[in-house]
């Protein structure tokens, strides 16, 4: 097969100024110019203050709603004599909640001033990255809109630190770079550290040993729309394949949960604009990916709508309603902008989506799991791996078939969603399928 020729300069992969996102700058320009996010600690303090104030406001609203219900009932029995008592109650409760809010504001200001003198970067430590990954999964879209330093740009990470996509940056981070890259994308509320689950080497480490591939870990803001992360991944890969220290012979993309959806979105967008890197993909691997949506996301969506029907429970519905765009996308497995652009995110029922087919030219593997040993066990059929059902993980049900072949799938019983991040059985199945096939002699099959 003829090897596709790469673009010769960054200008051939720069996105025009008319598109949203990086305002015409390449990913490389942004990463090479952006210093370490040393404002993370003050931002965390400010966020904590804001979230506490919102929580206090929510509690006050519930209190007010319950009190109104109680005083309404008392008014039926005692008449207008209840009025003065309610006025006193309202005045006292309002002053108490105002005092709490003021105290939180003072504490937040103090925490910010103390944090300024701490030069540590939480996102570059394992514990800090895990905490911020959860935060971004919950409200990452909001943090991005506020230009918060807690909202990470998509980036290659080595030992927690972002790697500049420049010739020197890549050569320094990957001194033993090979031509076959295995690129990993984590799932919702995760970071690249999630792959280190268990007391065993990661998939990337083992594939580097067994196949001679180079492990490339990517971190992204899982609270943003999947299509937005897919778009940014295409731009990152545009520059990566151009500036990699050695010629690239093949790419393997492996995603856990939401990461598989981001891979599908990026492949769809990259192929649509005839980018170079999709032509280098040998395999994609989706581990516990909700291609047809996740039942937990649907349950939260419907619970939110139901809670908003009554004044007493409405604050809780509002709290659930703050769930991120990334979580909302999991309702149906939305991977393109068209899937969410014109939809009402608060509507109880959501319209069906037209899923794009799998990208041609690569082999697409998938892994599913059930908490029961047998996938056909009634409980296993209902619960799946705890978050994703088997038919969604295989992209096939009575109405949909994304194109995954039955022979390209693997199921593991007695396991849960996060087992798939690092499991011996999964690796033993995956390894021979990812191993490059030797060319057969001419004239043979």
**How do residues 327-351 score in pLDDT, each as one tens digit?**
888 888 889 988 656 666 555 555 6
- Contact yes or no for 258/235 (Cβ under 8 A): no
Q: pLDDT digits over 281-309, tens only?
A: 999 999 999 999 887 665 555 555 555 45
**Alpha-carbon dihedral 333, 334, 335, 339, rounded to 10 degrees:** 160
Domain boundaries, the chain: 10-33+149-293+354-434, 40-120
Q: Of 307, 265, 280, 401, which is closest to residue 62 (Cα–Cα)?
A: 307
Instruction: Give the confidence band of 233 by pLDDT, cuts at 50, 70, 90.
Output: very high
DSSP sequence for 343-402: S-TT-SS-----PPPPPTTSEEEEEEEESSSSTTSHHHHHHTTSSS-HHHHTTBSSS-B-
Nearest Cα to Cα of residue 158 among 175, 176, 173 = 173
Residues 6 or more apart whose Cβ sits within 8 Å of residue 91: none
- For the segment 232-236, the average pLDDT, to the nearest whole number, is 98
Do the strands 250-256 and 180-185 form a parallel or antiparallel pair, or are they unpaired? parallel
**How do residues 48-67 score in pLDDT, each as one tens digit?**
555 445 544 544 454 455 44
Q: Is the pLDDT of residue 25 over 50?
A: no
pLDDT computed for residue 202 by the predictor: 98
> For residue 164, what is the DSSP state?
P
Q: Are 230 and 335 in contact (CB under 8 A)?
A: yes
* DSSP-assigned letter for residue 8: S
Q: Which CATH architecture has domain 10-33+149-293+354-434?
A: 3-Layer(aba) Sandwich (3.40)
Strand, coil or helix: 317: helix
Q: Is the CB of residue 236 less than 8 Å from the CB of residue 166?
A: no
pTM of the model: 0.74
Residues 6+ positions from 427 with CB-CB distance below 8 Å:
203, 206
Least trusted range by pLDDT, from 112-126, 165-179, 375-389? 112-126
Mean pLDDT of 315-328: 64
Which of 155-169, 229-243, 273-287, 386-400 is predicted with the least confidence, judged by mean pLDDT? 386-400
From residue 74, give the alpha-carbon distance in Å to each of 55, 78, 81, 441: 29, 6, 9, 91
Write out pLDDT tens, residues 356-393: 999 999 999 999 999 999 988 988 888 899 889 999 99
Tens-place pLDDT, residues 387-409: 899 999 999 888 878 889 999 99
């Amino acid at each position: 097969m003829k090897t596709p020729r790469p673009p010769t300069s960054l200008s051939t992969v720069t996105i025009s100024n008319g598109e949203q996102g990086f305002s015409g700058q390449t990913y490389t320009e942004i990463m090479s110019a952006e210093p370490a996010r040393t404002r993370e600690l003050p931002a965390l303090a400010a966020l904590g203050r804001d979230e506490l104030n919102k929580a206090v406001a929510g509690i006050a609203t519930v209190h007010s709603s319950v009190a109104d219900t109680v005083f309404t009932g008392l008014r039926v029995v005692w008449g207008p004599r209840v009025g003065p008592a309610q006025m006193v109650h309202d005045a006292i409760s309002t002053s108490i909640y105002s005092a709490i809010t003021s105290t939180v504001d003072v504490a937040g200001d103090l925490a910010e001033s103390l944090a300024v003198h701490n030069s540590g970067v939480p996102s570059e430590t394992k514990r800090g990255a895990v905490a911020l990954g959860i935060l971004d999964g919950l409200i990452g879209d909001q943090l991005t809109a506020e230009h918060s330093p807690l909202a990470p740009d998509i980036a290659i990470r080595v030992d927690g630190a972002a790697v500049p996509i420049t010739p020197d940056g890549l050569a320094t981070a990957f001194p033993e770079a090979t031509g076959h890259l295995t690129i990993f994308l984590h799932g919702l509320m995760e970071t690249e550290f999630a792959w280190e689950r268990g007391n065993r080497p990661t998939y990337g480490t083992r594939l580097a040993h067994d196949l001679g591939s180079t492990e490339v870990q990517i971190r992204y803001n899982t609270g943003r729309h999947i299509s937005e992360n897919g778009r940014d991944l295409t731009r990152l890969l545009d520059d990566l394949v151009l500036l990699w220290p050695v010629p690239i012979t093949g790419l393997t993309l492996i995603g856990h949960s939401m990461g598989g959806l981001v891979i599908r979105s990026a492949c769809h967008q990259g192929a649509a604009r005839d980018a170079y890197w999709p032509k280098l993909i040998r395999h994609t691997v989706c581990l516990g990916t909700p291609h047809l949506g996740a039942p937990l996301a649907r349950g939260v969506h419907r619970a939110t709508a139901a809670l908003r029907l009554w004044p007493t429970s409405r604050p809780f519905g509002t709290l659930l309603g703050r769930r991120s765009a990334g979580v909302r996308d999991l309702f149906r497995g939305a991977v393109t902008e068209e899937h969410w652009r014109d939809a009402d995110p608060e509507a109880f029922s959501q319209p069906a989506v037209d899923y794009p087919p799998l990208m041609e030219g690569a082999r697409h593997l998938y892994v599913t799991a059930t908490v029961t040993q047998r996938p056909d066990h009634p409980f296993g059929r209902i619960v799946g791996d705890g978050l994703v059902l088997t038919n969604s993980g295989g992209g096939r049900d009575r109405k949909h078939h994304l194109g995954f072949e039955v022979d390209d799938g693997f199921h593991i019983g007695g396991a849960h969603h996060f087992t798939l991040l690092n499991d011996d059985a999964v690796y033993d199945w995956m390894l021979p399928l990812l191993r490059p096939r030797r060319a057969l002699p001419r004239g043979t099959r």
